Amino acid sequence: MSTVSAIDGMELVYQKPATLTDTPMHYCPGCGHGVAHWLLMEVVQEMGIQEQVIGVAPVGCSVFAYNYMNIDMQEAAHGRACAVATGIRRVLPEKFVFSYQGDGDLAAIGTGETIHAINRGENILIVFINNGIYGMTGGQMAPTTIIGQVTSTTPFGREASQMGYPLKITDLVAHLPGAYYVTRQAVHTAAAVRKTKKAMQLGFEYQKRKKGTSFIEIVSNCPSGWKLTPLEANDWMEKNMFPNYPLGDLKVPKE
C-alpha cells in the first residue's frame, strides 16, 4: 500500500505512513475506521500536504481520529463538522480541509450543516463513514439503518411505517449544484481499498483546484454493533448494505 523498498534483503511492500501516529488503534476487530484512517493519511503523505491539511472530527467513533492522524485536527460538536470545516477553509483558504464523520452524525443531527455546506459548494472534502448504526453509544438505529435491520432500538427490525425509510444522503448530495465529486466506496477488500484511495486522491486534488465540495461515502461495517464476527459482518454488508447503498460514482466532473 506504500513505497516498495528493501530492508535487510527483504522486499517491503507496505509500511505505516508517517502521517499516522504510533498510538495503537482501539477500534473493534474488523471495523473499517482504521483502514479509512490509513488511506487518508497515506494520500496526505504521498501528496506532501501534511503541513497544509486540517481534519475536522465530531462526536462518535470519528472523534478518536485525532489520536491517530499526525496532522492538525479540530474537534467539532456533534453534527457540526461541515460548519467548522467551512469556517476553517474560509479563514485559511490555502489549507486542505476535510471532515471525517459517521452516519449518526452527518445524516442525523448534522443534516442541515451538511446539505447547506455542500449546496454552497464549500471547497472541502467530506469523508462519510456509513455503517448503518450508532456504533459508539450502544448500537441504536441511525438514519441509514436499512429496513428490517435489528438494532438496540429496533429489536424487531426497522419498519418503514414506524421509523421511516433509510436516508440515502449521498444520493441527495449528488443533486446539489455545489457538489463537484460524489462517490460511494468501501474498504473491505483490496480492490475496494484501491478505489477508495483513488477517490480520496481526487477529493484533495479537486480541492486544490477550488472546484467545490467532494463527498466520499464509505459503506463500512460495525461488527460489535451488528453482533457479528468481522467475517460475518463483511458478508452481511455485501448482502444487505450494498443493495441499498450500491458502490460507485454518483457524480463525476465532466472534464
Is 7 part of a structural domain of the chain?
Answer: no
Is 4 part of a structural domain of the chain?
Answer: no
Is 112 part of a structural domain of the chain?
Answer: yes
Among candidate residues 24, 35, 114, the one with its CA nearest the CA of residue 76: 114
CB of 45 closer than 8 Å to CB of 77: no
**What pTM was computed for the model?**
0.93
Residue 14's pLDDT is 74
Q: Which of 36-50, 52-66, 132-146 has the highest mean predicted lDDT (pLDDT)?
A: 36-50
Is 88 part of a structural domain of the chain?
Answer: yes
Residue 63's pLDDT is 86
| pLDDT tens digits for range 224-240 | 999 999 999 999 999 99
Helices (H), 103-189: 103-104, 111-119, 160-163, 169-174
Give yes or no for residue 7 having a pLDDT over 60.
Answer: no
| pLDDT tens digits for range 18-50 | 999 999 999 999 999 999 999 999 999 999 999
- pLDDT category of residue 69 using cuts at 50, 70 and 90: very high
Buried b (16+ CB within 10 A) or exposed e, 125-147: bbbbbbbbbbbbeebebbbbbee
Is 6 part of a structural domain of the chain?
Answer: no
Give yes or no for residue 86 having a pLDDT over 50.
Answer: yes
- What is the CATH classification number for the domain harbouring 214? 3.40.50.970
- pLDDT category of residue 5 using cuts at 50, 70 and 90: low
Q: How many residues does the chain have?
A: 255
Domain extent, residue 55, equals: 30-139+165-250
Radius of gyration for the chain, computed over Cα atoms and rounded to the nearest angstrom: 18
